[in-house]
């Protein structure tokens, strides 16, 4: 018994049982130090094995093991959750997935407070940072009382250099996880909701651009017409435009109604576009009106130069390349001969004098003649043909200084739906400009200015130039008095011009009356020698016997 007891005390693994005198072997519990030592060695072995596999195992084989390992785990432990992956690049040429961009914008706006790791980038506006999820971060979204989990993950690319033109880069993707009971909700509405909201967020955050058409790569033999772009930063708005307030509000309501009428246009079976014709004398703010329209609706602007377009096919290609939420502008369309009343002139015929004048004008510019074959028919198809329905939410704006010169087919309703006349500045428009330029809403000189506006025509551009201070010390009253002086000077010029025109009319009338009397005298003498004479009556002259 003493030997057994001694052996138990020394080893600590055996215990004496007094009933049968046998020793029972028992394992003592491991200490924390022993547990950590064992775990560390196991983890080190696993990490070493994984590093060997990643270095020497082919990428395709690793993916193969990952796929089947996941299937094996799902078979053993079936999960009630469904996962959807949305990759950043898709297709053979790795074009950026629009769905990925929409999800990125949506999640950046819906980032919950539990997101701990974010990425900050300078946005397109350059005024603030744009926040997005960092890799392997997860956020929770709630839609119709259902929870959805989004995670940004990536598949690492090959570490070795690829001989292909397209290197094996890391592939990022968003993973959507949700309970399988919400499968129908995801298919029917949730994904559509995410795409719609994401697109709207991207449109609102983007920097709007101004496009113009020109030739493509100059080193290519066959040049093509393409759009080139700059950021659109025109500050004009309807608050700064000098025009009648009621007319201004009418235009604003028309624009906002159009931008919110997608379903209405689809219901009536009409392409979602609208034409605006801006006409009036030079300096009345046609270009400024276009900039204000773009700023109001947050649209891009495509400034189309027709003389740079080779033919109708090239014009159609340009139309296809335009995006939705845009304004397509053709300024001074009356300066193009093909789109004026040329058809009516040809029907009526021209005199030899007109033909000679046109020939004299054209001959010196033969070398500078633009080789554009765009026709009126091609432009009409551009405005409201079948191809004009590609995309949607577009405004087509024409500007002209001479409305009477344009072909009626070009400006009829359905093509140019709304005609907006931008005329000379009125007193109400002057008050808007005075508020903008001088920060003055009322002044004692306004009464004198109102009286002058009744007799003087001045464009908003001239009014703005007169109101603008010419030095830093110049006050509002000094600018208004200078403006009154300009109005009085213009009034004197217009009165002098009117007097000269009246004198010309009087002289021409006197000459016409003398010419008529002389002609009557000649006719009387001739007819008197023939034995007859003319007698003037209210219906003309008649001849009687002497």
Query: What is the tens place of the pLDDT at every residue in 501-543?
Result: 888 878 776 666 555 555 454 444 444 444 444 444 444 444 4
Q: Comparing 191 with 343, which gets the higher pLDDT?
A: 191
How far is it, in rounded angstroms, from Cα 295 to Cα 249?
15
Residues 6+ apart with CB under 8 A from 398: 275, 276, 277, 278, 329, 330, 331, 333, 410, 411, 416
Is the alpha carbon torsion for 513, 515, 516, 520 positive or negative? Answer: positive
Q: Residue 544: left (phi > 0), alpha (psi -120 to 50), or beta?
A: beta
What SS3 string covers 198-253?
HHHHHHHHCCCEEEEEEECCCCCCCCCEEEEEEECCCCCCCCCCCCCHHHHHHHHH
pLDDT at 351: 54
pLDDT digit string, tens, across residues 133-183: 778 888 889 999 999 999 988 877 655 555 555 555 678 889 999 999 999
Asked whether 270 and 388 are in contact (CB, 8 A), the reply is no
pLDDT digit string, tens, across residues 419-450: 999 989 989 999 999 999 998 888 899 999 99
How far is it, in rounded angstroms, from Cα 452 to Cα 446?
10
Q: How far is CA 285 from CA 242, 299, 327, 399, 452, in A?
A: 8, 19, 17, 10, 21
How far is it, in rounded angstroms, from Cα 446 to Cα 480?
9
pLDDT at 11: 47
* Average pLDDT rounded to a whole number, residues 67-72: 71
397 three-state secondary structure? strand
Count how many Cα atoms sit within 13 Å of the Cα of residue 520 in the half-sphere of its side chain.
13
DSSP string across 142-182: EETTEEEEEEEEEE---SSPPSSSS----EEEEEEEEEGGG
pLDDT at 511: 61
- Give yes or no for residue 10 having a pLDDT over 60: no
């Amino acid at each position: 018994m003493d030997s057994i007891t001694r052996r138990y005390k020394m080893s600590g693994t055996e215990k004496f049982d007094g009933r049968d005198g046998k020793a029972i072997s028992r394992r003592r519990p491991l200490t924390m130090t022993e547990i950590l030592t064992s775990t560390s060695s196991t983890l080190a072995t696993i990490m070493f094995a994984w590093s060997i596999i990643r270095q020497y195992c082919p990428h395709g084989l690793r993916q193969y093991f990952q796929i089947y390992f996941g299937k094996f785990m799902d078979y053993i432990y079936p999960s009630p959750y469904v996962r959807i992956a949305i990759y950043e690049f898709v297709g053979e040429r790795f074009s950026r997935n629009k769905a990925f961009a929409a999800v990125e914008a949506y999640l950046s706006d819906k980032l919950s407070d539990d997101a701990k790791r974010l990425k900050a980038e300078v946005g397109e506006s350059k005024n603030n940072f744009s926040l997005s999820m960092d890799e392997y971060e997860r956020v929770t979204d709630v839609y119709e009382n259902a929870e959805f989990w989004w995670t940004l993950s990536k598949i690492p690319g090959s570490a070795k250099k690829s001989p292909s033109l397209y290197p094996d880069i890391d592939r990022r993707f968003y993973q959507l996880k949700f309970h399988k009971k919400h499968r129908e909700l995801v298919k029917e509405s949730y994904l559509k909701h995410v795409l719609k909201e994401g697109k709207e967020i991207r449109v609102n955050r983007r920097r709007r651009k101004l496009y113009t058409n020109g030739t493509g790569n100059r080193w290519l033999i066959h040049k093509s017409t393409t759009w080139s772009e700059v950021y659109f930063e025109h500050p004009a708005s309807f608050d700064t435009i000098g025009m009648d307030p009621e007319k201004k509000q009418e235009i604003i309501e028309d624009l906002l109604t159009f931008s919110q009428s997608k379903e209405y246009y689809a219901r009536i079976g009409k392409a979602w576009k609208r034409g605006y014709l801006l006409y009036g004398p030079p300096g009345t703010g046609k270009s400024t009106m276009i900039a204000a329209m773009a700023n109001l609706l947050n649209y891009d602007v495509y400034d189309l130069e027709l003389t740079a377009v080779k033919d109708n096919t090239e014009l159609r290609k340009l139309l296809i390349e335009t995006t939705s939420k845009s304004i397509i502008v053709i300024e001074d369309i009356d300066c193009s001969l093909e789109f004026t009343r040329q058809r009516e002139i040809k029907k009526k015929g021209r005199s030899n004098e007109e033909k000679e004048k046109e020939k004299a004008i054209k001959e010196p510019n033969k070398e500078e003649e633009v080789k554009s074959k765009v026709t009126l028919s091609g432009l009409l198809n551009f405005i409201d043909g079948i191809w004009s329905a590609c995309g949607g939410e577009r405004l087509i704006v024409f500007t002209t200084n001479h409305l009477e010169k344009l072909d009626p087919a070009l400006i009829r309703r359905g093509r140019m739906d709304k005609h907006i006349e931008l005329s000379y500045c009125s007193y109400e428009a002057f008050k808007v400009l005075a508020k903008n330029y001088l920060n003055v809403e009322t002044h004692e000189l306004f009464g004198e200015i109102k009286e002058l506006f009744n007799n003087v025509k001045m464009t908003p551009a001239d009014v703005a130039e007169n109101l603008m201070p010419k030095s830093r010390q110049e006050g509002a009253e000094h600018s208004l008095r200078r403006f009154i002086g300009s109005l009085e000077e213009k009034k004197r010029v217009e009165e002098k011009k009117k007097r000269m025109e009246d004198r010309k009319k009087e002289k021409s009338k006197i000459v016409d009356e003398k010419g008529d009397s002389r002609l009557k005298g000649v006719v009387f003498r001739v007819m008197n020698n023939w034995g007859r004479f003319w007698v003037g009556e209210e219906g003309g002259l008649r001849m009687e016997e002497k």
